[in-house]
């Protein structure tokens, strides 16, 4: 039996705790064994508040979690600095949130956890608490000492997308888009599809930036000067890449059948089709790390935290995908 999956605390005033509890209640639905790195008293109080029969058991190690999982939610204790009410984050807890992530990384690195799934954090709270990274992805790359290799993929059952530029404004995304960045994202995606998704011959569709993929320069030269040279370089490196393609015709069902992942030029070009096709089941996957990390593709949802309304589907999909990737890596020949 593989080691269990570590699930981080996330922002304790958000919905991470309740979707973790709900996922455990649905553990028989093809979920891998998992454990939370959290404050057990917080999760117990949350379960009582919501009227859910979720026994919470503190464990001393990840190895103990598998034996407990069928009858209780195992929790490796990460105390909070300050008690918290749903929807009301406390800056004092930023260090506990960060420690939960770091501990999950350590357990994944030494094989005690097969993978890690991160519950959503609130970046504003983390920044005020002394967090100096743009988000989870960059912090994880720092912890495993592979800064610059990390690539964000979003996946649902019918689509995988990789944005080349991520959390920057649209004007900045256009200004900073380079052939080198496209090539780096394409190579990382090709390798991940082979190793993590067990696709022997991956096919990449590369989106254009402008309407109609620039229409031969009539609507911009980025396709000619930046994207097409990157596609040519990827193909020369052995990657089955096609493009630049008109973005408005890439995401209908027949088009999606022709590729395994879409390389997109900016954040919303990737996330709008992904969330349209699989809003509740989207998963964030960090490519390029030596450990397996996935995350639900949503935020902290303070407005509904503590009400029991949060949808646990994305977390469940993140757990399933994390376990699948971990198993694929075990069977992948280096």
Percentage of the chain exceeding pLDDT 70? 99
> Would you call 293 helix, strand, or coil by DSSP?
strand
pTM of the full structure: 0.93
pLDDT level of residue 240 (50, 70, 90 thresholds): very high
Summarised one tens digit per residue, pLDDT across range 58-67 is 999 999 999 9
Length of the chain in residues, anyone? 334
Residue 284 assigned as binding residue = yes
Contact 13, 121 (CB under 8 A): no
Residue 93 assigned as binding residue = no
Instruction: Assess whether pLDDT exceeds 70 at residue 105.
Output: yes
Instruction: Assess whether pLDDT exceeds 60 at residue 283.
Output: yes
pLDDT value at residue 114:
97
Kind of pairing between the strands at 5-8 and 34-38: parallel
* pLDDT average, residue stretch 94-120: 97
pLDDT value at residue 148:
79
Residue 253's nearest CA partner among 159, 156, 162 is: 159
Percentage of the chain exceeding pLDDT 90? 92
Domains and CATH numbers, the chain: 1-147+293-334 (3.40.718.10), 151-288 (3.40.718.10)
Q: Let me know if 176 is exposed, middle or buried by CB neighbors in 10 A (0-12, 13-18, 19+).
A: exposed
Instruction: Assess whether pLDDT exceeds 50 at residue 334.
Output: no
Q: How many CB atoms lie within 10 A of CB 108?
A: 26
Residue 136 assigned as binding residue = yes
Residue 298 assigned as binding residue = no
* pLDDT average, residue stretch 79-100: 95
pLDDT value at residue 74:
98
pLDDT level of residue 333 (50, 70, 90 thresholds): very low
Query: Any idea which residue has 């995606």 for tokens?
Result: 189
pLDDT value at residue 332:
57
Summarised one tens digit per residue, pLDDT across range 303-320 is 999 999 999 999 999 999
């Amino acid at each position: 039996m593989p080691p269990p999956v570590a699930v981080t605390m996330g922002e304790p005033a958000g919905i991470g705790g309740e979707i973790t509890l709900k996922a455990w209640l649905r553990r028989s639905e093809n979920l891998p064994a998992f454990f939370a790195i959290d404050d057990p008293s917080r999760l117990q109080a949350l379960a009582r508040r919501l009227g859910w029969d979720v026994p919470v058991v503190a464990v001393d190690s990840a190895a103990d979690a598998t034996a407990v999982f069928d009858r209780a939610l195992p929790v490796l204790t990460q105390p909070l600095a300050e008690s918290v009410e749903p929807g009301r984050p406390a800056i004092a807890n930023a260090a506990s949130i960060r420690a939960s992530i770091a501990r999950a990384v350590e357990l994944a690195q030494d094989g005690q956890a097969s993978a890690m799934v991160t519950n959503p954090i609130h970046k504003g709270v983390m920044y005020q608490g002394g967090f100096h990274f743009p988000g989870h992805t960059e912090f994880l790359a720092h912890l495993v000492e592979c800064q610059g290799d990390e690539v964000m993929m979003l996946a649902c059952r019918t689509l995988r997308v990789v944005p080349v530029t991520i959390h920057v404004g649209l004007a900045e995304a256009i200004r900073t888009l380079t052939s080198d960045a496209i090539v780096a994202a394409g190579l990382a995606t090709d390798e991940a599809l082979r190793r993590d998704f067990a696709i022997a011959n991956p096919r990449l569709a590369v989106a254009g930036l402008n309407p109609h993929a620039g229409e031969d320069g009539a609507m911009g030269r980025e396709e000619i000067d930046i994207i097409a040279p990157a596609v040519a370089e990827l193909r020369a490196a052995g990657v089955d890449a096609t493009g630049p393609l008109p973005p408005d015709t890439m995401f209908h069902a027949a088009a999606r059948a022709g590729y395994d992942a879409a390389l997109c030029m900016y954040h919303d070009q990737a996330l709008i089709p992904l969330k349209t096709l699989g809003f509740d089941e989207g998963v964030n996957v960090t490519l390029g790390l030596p450990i397996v990390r996935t995350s639900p593709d949503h935020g902290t949802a303070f407005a509904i935290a503590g009400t029991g309304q949060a949808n646990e589907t994305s977390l469940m999909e993140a757990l399933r995908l994390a376990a699948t990737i971990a198993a694929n890596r075990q069977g992948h020949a280096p």
